[in-house]
Amino acid sequence: MQPTELQISAIPGLPEVVAGDNLGRLIVEAIHSAAMQVKEKDVFVVAQKVVSKAEGRVVPLSTIQPSSLAHAWSDIHDKEAAVVEVVLGQTRRLVRMERGILIVETQQGYVCANAGVDTSNAPPGTVTLLPEDPDSSAARIRDALQEQFGVPLGVIISDTFGRPWREGLVNVALGVAGLDPFLDYRGYHDGFGRRLHATVIAVADEIASAAELVMGKTRRVPVALVRGFDYREAEGWGRNMIRPSEQDLFR
Amino acid sequence: MQPTELQISAIPGLPEVVAGDNLGRLIVEAIHSAAMQVKEKDVFVVAQKVVSKAEGRVVPLSTIQPSSLAHAWSDIHDKEAAVVEVVLGQTRRLVRMERGILIVETQQGYVCANAGVDTSNAPPGTVTLLPEDPDSSAARIRDALQEQFGVPLGVIISDTFGRPWREGLVNVALGVAGLDPFLDYRGYHDGFGRRLHATVIAVADEIASAAELVMGKTRRVPVALVRGFDYREAEGWGRNMIRPSEQDLFR
């Protein structure tokens, strides 16, 4: 079921992405320019930032009227009030609001810092929002890639998120298309013949993390190719990776 | 700073590991048997389970006298009282104890379910504990590998942990030797010349996650080789990946 070797490759040569770009087509062109081959079941991991830019999810801060809550919070914690207002606008529930840190449940359901609103690698005076529906974004890119390459492929839209208990950020899967985001061992047996229970691996997150290692934040390499993982083909649904609030002990 | 291609390879042929085994030497033998090459800065990811077995961190449940707390909890939630007692014995603080789920801070400081005590892939009637000091475990294995191969190498002791907010488990780094577990972008500039802040990537966790994709739970492939990541050489210290309790908003 699992491979013995994976390759993770950066896809170079993607131009600066702007609103209206067909990201699937840009990736196809980058693949061709780099003379890279595409094989059945290759997984393309695409950084959320370029998806957001292509989808026009870029907000000029000059258009924002900060609320009194945004002003109050930004005054105390030396933040930009317009950025805080954008964060609050992307939020459906505040999970933690202390020590200058805003952990929220976004309108899409992700739990993360600052609702995924980001100032880095965005044009000056603007911030990027998360894609409105990363699963649909992934499916659209997958359609474009499959049409071109004629083989089943997977696409993951990724972002770097912090997490409780551990330092540092890791890449996770927001949107998923073409692969089951989980590998479910329940019902399998271990090396001693004992039935495994409660072991479901979030392989889409692990693939996203693997891809981050070649993507980098200071270079423009927002797309990576993961080859060799024999995933279960499925529609995908990264949204299923979000633990339902009522089952979450930490919300 | 970051590579354009990584390879992740399963290392086949490791025998069933028992207490007293020299795990570094077993890995060397497996590498030779598989006719694999080892290169400078290769990272070996080793599953906690085999480290624990080699270090004798295996507890026969028949030796355990469950406390009244272990009995009470196991009665309500249909658990084995001896296993619960072992979990409590590995715990320095209970973080959550509800709905049959025990999230604890282990004696080593990790926050995880059941203190990392595991019944799968352990001999019948026994459970495995986490290594007493995974950083030392990693350093010992690294010493054995470097002595054999004569080049600087990295070693990560990994385990699969759940996390708040997201479904499924992912591999994380418990012990680290030979590489900086973090890639720190603070002070770097993005593509628009804007200074990045607060962006520290937990690359050791991402490497552990990448390795999990070839390791598998139902096959005996507890070691993987990650090649091509140009990490910063350092003593390591996976323990530094644990967020200090006083800075953690979710404990």
% of chain B exceeding 70 in pLDDT: 96
- On whether both A136 and A207 belong to a single domain, the answer is yes
pLDDT-derived band at B61, boundaries 50, 70, 90: very high
- On whether both B87 and B137 belong to a single domain, the answer is no
Measured between beta carbons, the chain B residues lying within 8 angstroms of A172 are 166
- On whether both B153 and B234 belong to a single domain, the answer is yes
> pTM, whole model, 2 decimals?
0.96
Average pLDDT value for residue range A29-39: 96
Number of C-alpha atoms within 13 angstroms, CB side, residue A17? 31
Measured between beta carbons, the chain A residues lying within 8 angstroms of B213 are 2-3, 6, 203, 206-207, 210, 229
Neighbours of B152 (CB within 10 A): 14
For residue A1, pLDDT beyond 50:
no
Query: What is the span of the domain harbouring residue B97?
Result: 58-128
Contact (CB<8Å) B248/A9: no
- On whether both A52 and A154 belong to a single domain, the answer is yes
Whichever domain contains A209, its CATH number is 3.30.1330.100
- Residue A60 C-alpha from the chain's centroid: 22
Average pLDDT value for residue range B109-132: 94
Measured between beta carbons, the chain A residues lying within 8 angstroms of B160 are 199, 201
Number of C-alpha atoms within 13 angstroms, CB side, residue B126? 16
- On whether both B66 and B31 belong to a single domain, the answer is no
Contact (CB<8Å) A216/B2: yes
Least confident of A216-225, A233-242, B103-112: A216-225
Contact B223, B25 (CB under 8 A): no
- On whether both B159 and B229 belong to a single domain, the answer is yes
- On whether both B138 and B95 belong to a single domain, the answer is no
Per-residue pLDDT of A13-29, as tens digits, reads 999 999 999 999 999 99
Average pLDDT value for residue range A200-223: 90
**Residue A193 placed within a domain:** yes
Rg (CA), chain B: 19
Q: Locate the chain B residue with the closest alpha carbon to A205.
A: B170
Measured between beta carbons, the chain B residues lying within 8 angstroms of A123 are 192
Residue from the list B8, B16, B206 with its beta carbon closest to the beta carbon of A5: B8
**Which 3 state secondary structure label does DSSP give A231?**
coil
